[in-house]
Copies of this chain bind each other. A is one copy, B any other.
Amino acid sequence: MRTLTVDLGARSYPIYIGGDLLSDRGLWARHLAAKQVMVVTNDTVAPLYLDSVLANLSDKQVETVILPDGEQYKTLDSAAWIWDRLIHARFSRNACLIALGGGVIGDLGGFAAACYQRGIPFVQAPTTLLAQVDSSVGGKTGVNHALGKNMIGAFYQPLAVIADTSSLTTLPDRELSAGLAEVIKYGLIRDAAFFGWIEANIDALLRRDPTAVGWAIERSCRNKAEVVTADEHESGVRATLNLGHTFGHAIETGAGYGVYLHGEAVAIGTCIAADLSVRLGRLDPVSAARIRELLQRARLPIRLNWELSPLRMLELMAVDKKNVDGRLRLILLQAIGEATLPLEIDGETVRATLEHCLAAA
């Protein structure tokens, strides 16, 4: 087991990465002082891992909420259901919530914990690659709105992140690839050496070689923890973690939540961001081609497989949280390993990029 720390003063917390952590009773006991524990999970993860987690909680008052699997259930209604259950069970503000699942469960469970009685402790137990390398770390919680991803939420840090790499053995191939989109992102925005390592090891990652996967998770979490420590509330550098996400969120909203996995939409968005960076003279075309190639090798989509007009895409992008006073703001690449958030972007170039990237394949 490796331990990293997200350093946020009084709200600092550990990230544990290793095999068989979900059944490590000593590890759980270290973070569960509460007598009342709610486990929030979904109907894909529950049959696989819920019993392992519950076995550590035999001395607690335990409630379990099992939601349907999928981004389309990351809603205020699901959060309200969790609150109903917490209130009916008379859970106090010393109760602890465990979010057992992927990014949807982590974001939703974290938001429910953030707002129940103005905040109760919670533990992230991510079971997908995407959640282990990205969404479980850093305290961003929230739910979607019909008009935009994560529009309602809170910055709320967990007590701990328990990333059991053994859980990746049951992960569908498509979800593994979706997680790799975020792994590749860290290389792109701030870690060129890691990008090179992923290029060299993509086949090992795809066949789930434990050493390769473990190292990819650790290096990703280290990058994420450094960025979050520097800028917890995204007033600056943290925004670079959203490379490809403005496009990606628009694609998810436009296609309907659940059609594309988040990581798939981010992969397409990353290609659009790279194309735009080239058109604006910031990124060289050879690097853009390298990015597309690595995403393809990771078995990720690099273009939409359905028609979306540039105008509709711009409408969908207009609700993005990075926008300021109605002006679009996008993360661009200067080079592989270097991201930037320019104050102004030429609208004509954005339109030209979308015309090119959204044209029928």
Contact = CB atoms under 8 A, between A and B. Distances in A.
Interface of A: 35-36, 76, 80, 83-84, 87-88, 90, 92-94, 114-119, 140-142, 145, 147-148, 150-155, 233, 318-319, 321, 323-326
B145 A92 contact: no
Copies in the complex: 2
B153 A115 contact: yes
B92 A152 contact: no
Contacts of A116: 151-152
A351 to B, nearest CB: 19
29 contacts: A35-B325, A36-B326, A76-B76, A76-B80, A83-B145, A83-B151, A83-B152, A87-B145, A87-B147, A87-B148, A90-B319, A90-B323, A92-B321, A92-B323, A92-B325, A94-B324, A115-B115, A115-B142, A115-B152, A115-B153, A116-B151, A117-B321, A118-B141, A118-B142, A118-B150, A118-B154, A118-B321, A119-B154, A154-B154
A118 B143 CA distance: 10
B90 A326 contact: yes
B324 A154 contact: no
Given A83-B151, A87-B148, A115-B115, 8 more contacts: A35-B325, A84-B145, A87-B151, A114-B154, A115-B142, A117-B152, A118-B142, A118-B153
Contacts of A321: 92-93, 117-118
A94 B321 CA distance: 9
B94 A325 contact: yes
A117 B116 CA distance: 18
Contacts of A141: 118
Contact of A36 (B35, B151, B153, B325): B325
A155 to B, nearest CB: 5
Nearest to A142: B118
Contacts of A323: 90, 92
Contacts of A318: 90
B153 A87 contact: no
Given A145-B87, A148-B87, A118 B324 contact: no
A34 to B, nearest CB: 8
Nearest to A90: B318
In this complex, the member of A36, A80, A115, A326 whose beta carbon has the largest number of chain B beta carbons within 10 angstroms is A115
Kindly list the 10 A-B residue pairs having the minimum CB-CB distance in the complex, ordered from nearest: A35-B325, A118-B153, A117-B321, A87-B147, A92-B323, A115-B152, A118-B155, A94-B324, A93-B321, A90-B318
